[in-house]
Copies of this chain bind each other. A is one copy, B any other.
């Protein structure tokens, strides 16, 4: 029933995270109905992603011009190469950078599996960290995240003097009354 070009697009949209098949159909028609110039603009924006490079050191997608293909963080001699934050996604890196309180490097692992296990690619990325002073695991403190951390720790056991995780406690602006027991317990332990 769906025209072929719509079906093609639906198949691809439905593969994206958090887009279901029904939403994919709605999106495909919506995109078409915005008119041909909007269609072309979106297509060329997506095609424009090909210009981006992936940093061979931290795997951040970027557009820096240096010859080694390094991103602006790995290329910055002021950033401590002995301090590495391991994160899942680019957006996690962006959030940490936004704090302006971190002076080390990063390693982006890419989407983690819910069963905690690591892909061959992810293991290879972790193996690239050598002789670090400290590795900070910037993995979300969820049940899945805790499982992932256990697997990541195994890979990193000889890679750094110290492996830490981001501190747990009350979120700024959060009220004690509404904090769950686990969070409040962490806040007690990490009191300062």
How many residues of A are in contact with the other chain, CB < 8 A? 50
Chain B minimum-CB-distance residue to A93: B1
A25 close to B110 (CB less than 8 A): no
Chain B minimum-CB-distance residue to A46: B43
A17 close to B26 (CB less than 8 A): yes
| CB of A48 to closest CB in B, whole Å | 4
B39 close to A46 (CB less than 8 A): yes
On whether A45 and B97 interact (CB within 8 A), knowing A26-B89, A26-B91, the answer reads no
Chain B minimum-CB-distance residue to A18: B23
- Given the complex of chains A and B, what is the CA–CA distance between A91 and B54 in angstroms? 39
Interface string of A3-27 (1 = CB under 8 A from B): 1111011001000111100110111
Partner of A27, one of B8, B17, B22: B17
